[in-house]
A and B are shown apart, each in its own frame.
Chain A
Amino acid sequence: MSLLQIKNLSLSIHGVPILKQVDLSIAPGQIVAVTGESGSGKSMTALAVMQLLPNGAEASGAIRLHDVDVLNRPEAEMCALRGASIGMVFQEPMTALNPVKTIGDQVMETILIHKAMPPAQARTRAEEVLTRVGLPPDRFPLSRYPHELSGGQRQRVVIAMAIALRPKLLIADEPTTALDVTTQAQILDLLKGLVSEYGMGLLIITHDLAVVADMADRITVMRHGEVVESGATQHLLRHMRHPYTRMLFEASGHQVILPDTVEPRPLLQVAQVVRDYRLPRTGLLGPQRHHRAVDGVSFTLNKGERLGLVGESGCGKSTLTRAILGLEEVQSGEIRLDGQPVFTGHRPNLAVRRKMQVVFQDPYGSFNPRHRVARLVTEPFHLLERPPTGTERQDRIAEMLTAVGLSPDDSNKYIHEFSGGQRQRIAIARALIIRPQLILFDEAVSALDVSVRAQILDLLVDLCATYDLTYLFISHDLSVVRTITDRVLVMQSGRIVEQGETEQVFSDPQHRYTQSLIAAAPQLPEIGQGAA
């Protein structure tokens, strides 16, 4: 008999339909993955099981946990169920814990709130589960506060809270999306281990198909609040019936072919760059401590080359990006573009800035909401000595919008009228409008859904052919970097630990860190053998 049975679940919030006729079931010891792009309703399905829906939500259908009808239970009985029979792990470990309570108190609270055992015993249990999730009390005392732990460690605490009472069902909503690849692999291993050890059912919500294929016994694919396809993992991967499923998998592993580069000559030269940040002193008269974010980095980027920069959060890639852009001065070393230094006499060099542009990660934060597209796109004209005016300006705007796949008429719209993918296109238009010699893509596709990401990657390839782009592509996503760059730099703790031809580095990594990165990244399965 199945542990969780969702039948014909429909949900609307303030009258807006969110879920339509969703069916799903999980057996004890089984891992079921629900996947789909943003807006597919996958998280709402999880919250519906917990009955932690936002105000104004109305659900119909049935959600049964064993023989209990969750949907029509009074709130008090749901409280008894949550934490004891169903545990939940959330996406954002940095904010999921109460900052003013110790981790011990927070884990013990799950036990005490259900009056499962007396406080002394609860404490022992808390120590046990924290040890189980990899935070032994001798190294991570119960008296620690969340801010003293890293993101991965906090996620372990959240998991410990969720499993403290050995629930029959564990729900994990994008549990590793906010984490680095190596941490992600550890957390996924931990979850898998817990499922087999406790015989729990695990409902994992994730947009990452590689994770899905790697973990799940069964897969449910959702779109616009509906289940488009579901089945046992191996079977579904071999026989994808629904075109959307196939499109999703293809977009996730989207490969592009870059056009050949022009004759190589050095464009960007980074030599022995060091950037330190001051840390607060410890103790009253402690020494001034520094964090070396970038530590003696040197590399050359040739004209026409597409260079990748990969590394986990905190490795210094953002700091390096800001230094190249001339937004922050470095303590030592030099950055030259086309032979000229980025900084001269503590001031950013305007002549160099003119040759560089950037595309940022967040399509929502990259534009002033009060300006129209025409003004947004032409902002880099400020760098020019004689910015184009009148019809010339209009023509340039129209040309750029067309080049990125938008219409010239879009120039009179405000930014909130566009989707995330369209905004990223506008960001590319803004970067291209002064024909810079170098473009930096700072996690430029990381916030996009896979299908949109695939389109933007295709656009980049087109633009490479038309405009002979040279770019530095900064990303934590190895699969994207692998297809969109010619050469790659691997960065760890402020240093470049390995560099080389992209394909070479990925197929035969030399440095231990690169090897661990590539090993940790979940692999997309080969698909389509059996597909019609």
Chain B
Amino acid sequence: MSRNLILGTFLSSLVLLAALLSFVWTPYDYAALNIPDKLRPPNAQHWFGTDHFGRDMFSMIMVGARTSIAVALVAVGIGVGFGVPLGLTAAARKGSWWDEVIMRGNDLVFAFPSLVIAILITAVFGAGAINAIIAIGIFNIPVFARITRGAALSLWEREFILAARVSGKGAARISTEHILPNVANLLIVQGTIQFSLGILAEAGLSYVGLGAQPPTPSWGRMLADAQTMVSFAPHLALIPGLAIIVTVLGLNLLGDGLRDWLDPRIRVART
């Protein structure tokens, strides 16, 4: 196990544990106002200090982790759920009109950054966490479709696929039995990376008001609230920012570590 993998696993599980723990326990009620105690810097009672309503920042960060993880996870799920089958079928019918449609469709979606999708959705349906999920999820679809197709195409050229075809297996069966298991590692690594990008995107959308709406706590909105107070209460901005950085850094290190850890095995198996 590499240092990346250990550190990445540690940071990611730290955030995940905080999110899970927040369902049953937080130091304070995250929504409880306590105006006399407002804008306290980090101290023994409030580890991360309090915000302008005197709410406990530590509790808010814990609950905010929930929002971030939920949004990013569902968005990755959308990307994998639609993108992987699209990529597999496109590769199985390389050069056909279906392949062409999927690839051009991918290019088209890439022209709509997730923020732009979120703007469109919000303009039509109004703001909310679901918007963020859909916007990030849609943007994830071509990412997974493209990476699956690319890896699958090179596998389709391999002789073990030809052998399976000679054994009478059809494209669907070959895709599930031979292609998918051999691209799984790649998808796990990419999934980790998209997960971290999803956390960043959710924070950005919430910051500009296109993501989770009050009272759902979210790191991005905590930062938006902090903006006018950053000069006299910098911890309001520092702490949610560091929470995002730790999460994203952890996931990226995990992704890199997984890549190094999974890759040599594939290579050993090949040579």
A358-B166 in contact (CB<8A): yes
Complex partner residue of A369 from B164, B168, B182, CB under 8 angstroms: B182
Whether the pair A415, B168 counts as a contact (CB closer than 8 A) is no
User: Which of A357, A368, A414 has the most C-beta atoms of chain B within 10 angstroms of its own C-beta?
Assistant: A368
Nearest-neighbour CB distance to chain B for A350, whole angstroms, equals 6
| B162 & A368 in contact (Cβ 8 Å cutoff) | no
Chain B proximity of A327: nearest CB distance (Å): 6
Are the C-beta atoms of B159 and A361 separated by less than 8 Å?
yes
Whether A255 is near chain B, meaning CB under 8 Å from some CB there, is: no
- Asked if A506 CB lies within 8 Å of chain B CBs, one says no
A365 CB to closest chain B CB, in angstroms?
5
B168 in contact with A366 (CB, 8 Å): no
- Residues A368 and B159 in contact in the complex (CB < 8 Å), given A325-B166, A350-B168: no
Given contacts A369-B182, A414-B269, contact A327 B165 (CB under 8 A): yes
**B160 within 8 Å of A by Cβ?**
yes
In whole angstroms, what is the CA distance A414 to B271 when docked?
Answer: 12
Please tell me if the beta carbons of B165 and A368 are within 8 angstroms of each other in the complex: no
A370 at the B interface (CB under 8 A): yes
A416 within 8 A of B: yes
Confirm or deny: B167 has a beta carbon within 8 angstroms of a beta carbon on chain A: yes
Return the CB mask of B256-267 against A: 1 if under 8 Å, else 0. Answer: 000000000010
* Docked-complex contact A360 and B168, CB < 8 angstroms: no
Given A327-B165, A370-B181, A380-B167: A362 and B159 within 8 A (CB)? yes
**Shortest distance between the CB of B223 and any CB in chain A (Å):** 44
Q: How far is the CB of B239 from chain A (nearest CB, A)?
A: 44
State the CA gap A365–B266 with chains docked (Å): 12
Q: What residues of chain A lie closer than 8 Å to B270, measured between beta carbons?
A: 364-365, 369, 416
Q: Is the CB of B163 within 8 A of A360?
A: yes
Task: Say if the beta carbon of A353 comes within 8 Å of chain B.
Answer: yes
CB neighbours (8 Å) of B178 from chain A are 368
B111: interface (CB < 8 Å) = no
Assembled-state Cα–Cα distance A358/B159 (Å):
10
Known: A414-B269, A415-B269, A416-B268. A366 touches B166 (CB 8 A): no
B162 touches A353 (CB 8 A): no
Distance in angstroms between the alpha carbons of A325 and B271 in the assembled complex: 27
- The answer to whether the Cβ of B169 comes within 8 Å of any Cβ in the partner chain is yes
Q: Which residues 185-231 in B have Cβ within 8 Å of A in the complex?
A: none
The residue of chain B having its C-beta at the shortest distance from the C-beta of A364 within the complex is B270
**Contact across chains for B167 and A360 when beta carbons are under 8 A apart:** no
A382 at the interface (CB under 8 A from B): yes
Closest-CB distance, B136 to chain A (whole angstroms): 31
Q: For the complex, is A367 an interface residue (Cβ under 8 Å from B)?
A: yes
Distance in angstroms between the alpha carbons of A356 and B268 in the assembled complex: 31
Residue of A nearest to B269 (CB): A369
Which B residues are in CB contact (< 8 Å) with A362? 159
B164, B166, B182: the one within 8 Å of A357 (CB): B166
Question: Quick one: closest B residue to A380, CB to CB?
Answer: B167
In the complex, what residues of B have CB within 8 A of residue A503's CB?
none
Inter-chain contact B182/A366, CB cutoff 8 Å: no
> B158 on the interface (CB 8 Å rule)?
yes
Instruction: Collect the chain A residues with CB atoms within 8 Å of residue B162's CB.
Output: 327, 358, 360
Contact A366 B167 (CB under 8 A): no
Shortest C-beta distance, B265 to chain A (Å), equals 9
Distance between Cα atoms of A369 and B162 in the complex (Å): 15
Interface size on A, residues (CB 8 A): 30
Chain A hits for B271, CB < 8 A: 364, 416
Q: What band does the interface of chain B fall in when counting residues whose beta carbon is under 8 Å from A?
A: 10 to 19
User: Cβ of A379 < 8 Å from any Cβ of B?
Assistant: yes
Q: Specify the chain B residue showing the minimal Cβ separation from A379.
A: B167
- Answer whether A416 and B269 are a contact pair too, CB < 8 Å, given A360-B159, A362-B159, A365-B159: yes
State the Cβ distance, B220 to closest chain A Cβ, in Å: 41
B269 close to A327 (CB less than 8 A): no
Q: Does A383 contact B (CB under 8 A)?
A: yes
User: Could you tell me the distance between the alpha carbons of A362 and B167 in the complex, rounded to whole angstroms?
Assistant: 18
A487 at the interface (CB under 8 A from B): no
Residues of A within 8 A of B164 (CB): 368, 379
The one of B160, B165, B181 that contacts A366, using a Cβ cutoff of 8 Å: B160
Interchain CB contact under 8 A, B163 and A379? yes
B contact residues around A366 at 8 Å (CB): 159-160, 163
Closest residue on chain B to residue A356 by CB atoms: B166
Measured in the bound complex, the distance between the Cα atoms of B159 and A365 in whole Å is: 5
A327 contact from B158, B166, B268, Cβ within 8 A: B166
- Judged by a CB distance under 8 angstroms, whether A495 is at the interface is no
Tell me whether A368 and B169 are in contact in the complex, defined as CB-CB below 8 angstroms, given that A360-B162, A416-B270, A430-B163 are known contacts: no
Question: What chain B residues lie within 8 Å of A383 (beta carbons)?
Answer: 167-168
How far apart are A356's CB and chain B's nearest CB, in angstroms?
A: 7
CB <8 Å contact, B182 and A370:
yes
Within the complex, the shortest CB–CB distance from B142 to chain A, in Å, comes to 26
Bound CA–CA A358/B168 (angstroms) = 12
CA distance A382 to B167 in the complex (A): 6
Residue of A nearest to B165 (CB): A327
Known A368-B178, A415-B269: A358·B169 in contact at CB below 8 Å:
no
Q: Which residues in chain A, 227-271, are within 8 Å of chain B measured between CB atoms?
A: none
Please give, as numbers and ranges, the residues of chain A lying within 8 Å of B163 by CB-CB distance.
358, 360, 366-367, 379, 427, 430
Contacting pair B160 A365 (CB below 8 A): yes
Cβ contact within 8 Å between A382 and B169: yes
Name which of A354, A357, A360, A362 has the most chain B CB atoms within 10 A of its CB: A360
A365 and B270 CA atoms in complex are apart in Å by: 7
A430–B167 CA distance with the chains assembled, in angstroms: 10
User: Whole-angstrom distance between the alpha carbons of A368 and B269 in the complex?
Assistant: 9
Report the Cα distance A356→B159, complex, angstroms. Answer: 16
Q: B169: which A residues are within 8 A, CB to CB?
A: 379, 382
A354: B residues at CB distance < 8 A: 168
| Cβ-closest 5 pairs across A and B | A369-B269, A360-B159, A383-B168, A366-B159, A380-B167
Query: Please, could you name 22 A-B residue pairs with CB atoms under 8 Å apart, sorted by A?
Result: A327-B166, A353-B166, A353-B168, A358-B162, A358-B163, A360-B159, A360-B163, A361-B159, A365-B160, A366-B163, A368-B160, A368-B182, A369-B266, A369-B269, A369-B270, A370-B181, A379-B163, A379-B167, A383-B168, A416-B271, A427-B163, A430-B163
19 further contact pairs, Cβ within 8 A, besides A358-B163, A360-B162, A379-B169: A327-B162, A353-B168, A356-B166, A357-B166, A361-B159, A362-B159, A364-B271, A366-B159, A367-B160, A369-B182, A369-B266, A370-B181, A370-B182, A379-B164, A383-B167, A415-B269, A416-B269, A427-B163, A430-B163
